[in-house]
Structure 1
């Protein structure tokens, strides 16, 4: 009997909880790490609503930067899915607040995995590690797994995207030098939407929530590649299970939508909601970001149109993502259910 135990970091997060649900439903046993055990009961209840195998879920308190803890946790499993990484809704005062835990956590986990003969680590990166840090002339176009964000270009990247890029590059550098046979696969999702399970939701869900809660008078002229959280969870598991995924990077996207397209999808479905119609000029968005700090991270996308190519995951792993439109609608429906809008 193969070892069906998986260590998953960041079990309380939006993607972490959805991935845990899918692993449990596939018969895996999951050790989910969280920063604070106080959240365990709450997240257990949320996950229990979506699976009959809740008895196969165990929790462990773990700080990404504490390298001593990972050896014990990893010694029991065959595979690791490393999702946890700080993702604030506002820009941090200092890049290191994000870069240090993102990079240290990744390296600590890889070191422990290498030492204990783990088969594979699947690491959650971001399309933010692919499509940013570009010169002005190169901000429109289609990017893929061969592209990397230039972290020295501060003007066209955010602290979060820099942290994800630095952590992912550090992971590949580690694997290059590692002689244990440990395999690495990385997943680079766009903006993750889809059904919110609890009031502590993923940062990207704000794209939908802010369009419906009456707080946005108009829409910034930007767009992102978007993807349903259930599809991203599915891709992580395919990346863990499929032998030929070893050593590969995969974009996770279901297609590019502008905020205006998101708004029209929502308006059609919820005609009674105050969904904005007008587009905001870029300079107004920049001014407005001084009042609403959650807007600052998206300023790098004004005047850009960065799309990512998802064909590799579809071809190599037979991945079939839920459509971007359905991801938007599932996010909206769950936000209404949870009284977030």
Structure 2
């Protein structure tokens, strides 16, 4: 009989690709949705890549409530906890931290009760980054972001505290033989399965639509969603991965270089992509007087902090693809799905 893997948050961008790849590799998959009405959305997305009939099942469970998690874990061998609480503009720290931290603990408690072999939890590279906004530097999994740093945006603080709470739970509770591994991705791009939830690739959609009049001096460590799923699955089964954190950040790329790659690589389809640079001072002025949402990116202007993925490469044999390929594959997928 095939092993069953539970993927949390089945309607999510990363979760959809996790489900797809698990099915391709012969696993049975159960995934959580907050409402049974969302099941068809997941099935339709996955069916564009693989036939899910008979091997994909659903459980109704929400990170903000205890109900449904015991049933979701029944008969499960592994858990990929990739779900994140939905946020809205101007989230406060509590709006994000409480559901992220408490939701992770709900998943871990139910998994331990069901004698799950291993939980692989999706954290973020922002949970292993220096608190100071130096312009250069390379860090690895031994570093923890300081959640007490008052300059942290709520999202970054929530991801750090949620992961920290997960490790504390494993250390301080009797979880039997259950193991925990965490994966810390950078900016996730790549092809989409559906337009119902395009996740982080929305920034590329905005570029293609011509909605970005200029490009700020922001750099991203780009990981393809397919490579991110691959490292999750390697972390799920590798004996060497038990009790480890793995950065999965991919190649560093300035947004200006992303825009140029889209403009040059797509021909006429990339004609609306702006390659005009926006000076740092203009971004800061706009953040202060016109668009408060820009305040979260101003500390990252000109910053080229990077993360080492040597651990994932060495222990798991992980090999991510070039960032430019992910950006172009993402754009072509958005165009093919009529999302731009």
Look up the match of 1:311: 310
| Structure 1, gaps ≥5 residues long | none
Q: Could you tell me how far apart the structure 2 residues matched to 1:293 and 1:271 are? A: 34
Distance 2:280 2:290 in 1: 15
Which runs of structure 1 show a deviation greater than 3 angstroms over 4 or more consecutive aligned residues?
87-91, 287-297
Q: Residues of 1 paired with 2:24 and 2:35: CA distance?
A: 25
- Residue pairs, 1:123-138, within 5 angstroms: 123-132=121-130, 134-136=131-133, 138=134
Is contact 2:189–2:201 with CA below 8 Å preserved after alignment?
Answer: yes
2:202 matched to 1:206?
yes
User: Structure 1 residue aligned with 2:252, among 250, 256, 281?
Assistant: 256
- The question of whether the paired residues in 1 share the 8 Å contact of 2:46 and 2:52 is answered with no
Instruction: Kindly tell me the number of residue pairs found equivalent between the two proteins.
Output: 336
RMSD: 1.8
Please state whether the residue corresponding to 2:204 is helix, strand or coil: helix
Aligned to 2:173: 178
- Helix, strand or coil for the counterpart of 2:149? coil
Give the equivalent residue in structure 1 for 2:158.
163
Q: Equivalent of 1:222, from 218, 222, 239?
A: 218
Give, in whole Å, the separation in 1 of the partners of 2:143 and 2:311. Answer: 13
1:231-250 correspondence to structure 2 within 5 Å: 231-250=227-246
Q: 1:202 to 1:249 in 2, by over 3 A?
A: farther
- Secondary structure at the aligned position of 1:104 is classed as helix
Q: Could you tell me the TM-score, scaled by structure 2's length?
A: 0.93
Q: Which residue of the partner structure matches residue 38 of structure 2?
A: 39
Bigger drift between 68-77 and 17-26 goes to 68-77
Change (3 A) 1:293 1:331: farther
Q: Is 1:146–2:142 an aligned residue pair?
A: yes
Change (3 A) 1:279 1:89: farther
State yes or no: 1:69 paired with 2:65. Answer: no
Q: Which residue number corresponds to residue 109 of structure 1?
A: 107
Instruction: Assess, with a 3 A threshold, how the Cα gap between structure 1 residues 135 and 294 changes in structure 2: closer, same or farther.
Output: closer
Q: Distance in 2 between matches of 1:291 and 1:297?
A: 14
**Partner of 1:274 in structure 2?**
272
Does residue 11 of structure 2 align to residue 15 of structure 1?
Answer: no
Preserved contact between residue 91 and residue 296 of structure 1 (Cα < 8 Å): no
C-alpha distance in 1 between matches for 2:323 and 2:173? 38
Give the whole-Å Cα distance in 1 for the aligned partners of 2:292 and 2:223: 24
**3-state secondary structure, aligned to 1:58:** strand
Quote the Cα distance in structure 2 between the aligned partners of 1:52 and 1:86.
28
Q: Give the whole-Å Cα distance in 2 for the aligned partners of 1:271 and 1:292.
A: 32
Q: Is the 8 A contact 1:89 1:294 kept in 2?
A: no
Q: Is the 8 A contact 1:228 1:327 kept in 2?
A: yes
Deviation digits for residues 159-189 of structure 1, max 9, x if unmatched? 1111110000000111112331210000000
What stretches of structure 2 of length at least 5 have no aligned partner? none
> Aligned partners of 1:203, 1:130: CA distance in 2, in Å?
22
Cα deviation 1:25-48 (Å, max 9, x = unaligned): 111111110122212112211111
Cα deviations across residues 61-107 of structure 1 (Å, max 9, x unaligned)? 11112224212221321111101112536331x21111111101111
Alignment partners' CA distance in 1, 2:317 and 2:30 = 27
Deviations along 1:257-315, one digit per CA (max 9) or x if unpaired, are 00011011111112331221221112222343465565443233113212111111111
**1:321 match:** 320
C-alpha displacement at 1:60, in angstroms?
1.4
